[in-house]
Structure 1
Amino acid sequence: MSKLSSTPTPATVVPAQAPSRGEVGDSRRREQRPGWRPHDDTGHRNEVVLAGRVTAEPAVRELPSGTHLTTWRLSVTRPTADQRPNQPTDPITCVSFQSSIEEATRGWRIGDHVQVSGALRRRFWRSPNGSSSVIEVEAHHAHRVVAGGTSTGDVPAERAPDHQPR
């Protein structure tokens, strides 16, 4: 004969299913913009939008992995109220691993006004002096807004009559 246990057996837990998109009760709808993805429910976001002048022309280098890294630098003017006496602008390094951005930046020159959107990233690498790191903007989208001027700065480079391509 078997002896019955007086301890209760655990109940089976069935997880509740979240309503699918479009169903009543779906309160987690978010504004959808091109290039924007919700990361999680904690509200964390890493979005950067910059508009400034190119101060270091884009350079492409091949990493040991075979991936191409495009790097350039922008100078973004601070609002007048936030300017310091010796630092009216912020130099910001931008990078991209995307071939489409490598193509888009190919004709950029110093002085061009560009717009970049992406995210802040911290990259690490080993150097002869130990580990190093840098914080950069990893660009997801980039385009030139206005071509920079000639040496006088009066005429955009694309319309200058004696402009020689580099």
Structure 2
Amino acid sequence: MHNPSPIPVSPNGSASGERTAPRREQAAQRAVGHRNEILLAGRVTAEPSVRELPSGDQLVTWRIAVARPPSEQRSNQQVDPITCVSFHKDMVELTRDWRIGDTVQVTGALRRRFWRSANGAASVFEVEAKTAWRVRAGA
């Protein structure tokens, strides 16, 4: 009789009775239900700037202000300023004509970046853009 589910072999070469999965599959199983999807619509407050990295890749960075719903506004904070970045070559060209005041939409994922500064460890949250488009030119 053929066994459709062979008994996996442990890293030390011995057979075990429990099923194991490759590392990638295990990571995917742990991530079930995890999501990191961002959809933003807001007004450009810092025009896109392009920086060449030591690797030769280009990084485009811009900032938008996203208005909070009236029920979530605080007396001194009615918008959330959000920095967006992208390493995609096409995004450099796509954002080239964006100006302050343009309304844009961005999809992507929230990322936290770490570095060492003169004052010690530092970090920032940014949206790594996957897609972006101008909805309306500013007035």
* TM class, shorter-length: 0.7 to 0.9
Q: Secondary structure at 1:40's aligned position in 2?
A: helix
Relative to its length, the structure with more helix (as a share) is: 2
What TM-score comes out, normalization by structure 2 length?
0.77
Q: Describe the SS at the equivalent of 2:28.
A: coil
RMSD: 1.7
Matches within 5 A, 1:44-55: 44-55=34-45
Which residue in the other structure is 1:102 paired with?
92
Same amino acid, percent of matched pairs: 64
Aligned to 2:6: 14
> Which residues in structure 2 correspond to 1:1-166 (within 5 Å)?
14=6, 40-41=28-29, 42-149=32-139
**Deviations 1:51-99, CA, capped at 9 Å, x for gaps:** 0000000000112222211000000000011111111100000000001
5+ residue gaps, structure 1: 1-12, 17-38, 150-166
Partners of 1:59 and 1:145 in 2: how far apart?
19
Find the structure with the greater CA-based Rg: 1
Match of 1:36 in 2: none
The alignment of Structure 1 onto Structure 2 pairs a total of residues equal to 115
Write the distance in 1 (CA, Å) between the matches of 2:7 and 2:49. Answer: 52
Counterpart residue number, 1:19: none
Runs of 4 or more above 6 Å deviation: none
Q: Aligned letter for 1:67? A: D
| 3-state secondary structure, aligned to 2:61 | strand
Letter in 1 for 2:39: V
- TM-score between the two structures when normalised by the length of structure 1: 0.65
